[in-house]
Structure 1
C-alpha cells in the first residue's frame, strides 16, 4: 500500500499553532499538564518547544507533572538519544 500522507519537515510553526497545544487533553484520566507537555515535546522542534513552555508557564502549569506511570516529561526526555536540547529547555523552565 502507498502512504497517503507525506512527512512534513521544517514546518514553520506560528504562535497560534504552538499555543493550540495548551488545549490538548488526555483521554486516559491522566494529568492534563503532563499530557499537553508530552504531546508538545513529541510534536515540536526544541525551539518551538521552548516557545510553548513560555506560554505553558504563563498559565501557571506544572512543568513537573507526572504521567500515570509516575514519570515526568523530563524523565522521558532524558532517556531519548536526541532529548538533550529538550531537557535543557525543561530544566530552564524549572523542571527537576
Structure 2
C-alpha cells in the first residue's frame, strides 16, 4: 500500500506556524509547558525552535517544566546526538 502522506523535508515554517505550537495541549495530563516544548523540539529545525522559545518565554511559560518522569526538555535534548544546538537555545533561555 502507498503512504497517504509523504514526509516533508526542509519545510519552510512561517512565524504563524511556529506560533501555533503555543496552542499544543497535553493529551495525557502532563505539564502543558513541558509538552509544548517537547513537541516543538521534535518538530522544528533549530532556527525555528529558537523563534518558538522566544515566543514561549514572552508568554511567561516555564522553560524548566518537567514531564511525569521528572526530566525537563533540556535533559532530554542533551541526551540526543544532534540535540546540541537545541540544548544551547534552551540554556540561553534560562533552562537548567
Using structure 1 for the length normalisation, give the TM-score: 0.97
* Unpaired segments ≥5 residues, structure 1: none
1:35 aligns with 2:35: yes
Q: Identify the residue that residue 93 of structure 2 maps to in structure 1.
A: 93
Rounded to whole Å, the distance in 2 between the matches of 1:93 and 1:22 is: 16
Task: List, as ranges, runs of 4+ consecutive aligned residues in structure 1 with deviation greater than 2 Å.
Answer: none
Q: Identify the residue that residue 23 of structure 1 maps to in structure 2.
A: 23
Aligned Cα root-mean-square deviation (Å): 0.6
* Unpaired segments ≥5 residues, structure 2: none
How many residue pairs get aligned? The number is 96
1:77 aligns with 2:68: no
Using structure 2 for the length normalisation, give the TM-score: 0.97
